[in-house]
Structure 1
């Protein structure tokens, strides 16, 4: 599971892959929408379980 939060705030998005990949270097894309936060903040991405994170991106 991947959890995204801003600063010490609550989890804004929680994502889980629907099934494991066939190998440790096979990737899938997870996407989530959440409210826009004004100003500069720390973004926390928490991985729970046997996950690897290749990239985090934002668009708006």
Structure 2
């Protein structure tokens, strides 16, 4: 990952340069990944019965 790509990911998630003093690179990438997953339509949500079988 280049610096430019990292700063683009920050801009896409609304993280400012000042916020980067408080965050790690890994945390920024996790935030971006979760942002992408927010739009995904999961085919099935697990129920308690599914968790019990697991």
TM-score (ref. length: structure 2)? 0.19
Q: Which has the higher contact order (CA 8 A, sep 6+)?
A: 1
Q: Max radius of gyration: which structure?
A: 2
Whichever structure has more strand as a proportion of its residues is 1
Which protein is richer in helix relative to its size?
2
TM-score normalized by structure 1?
0.18
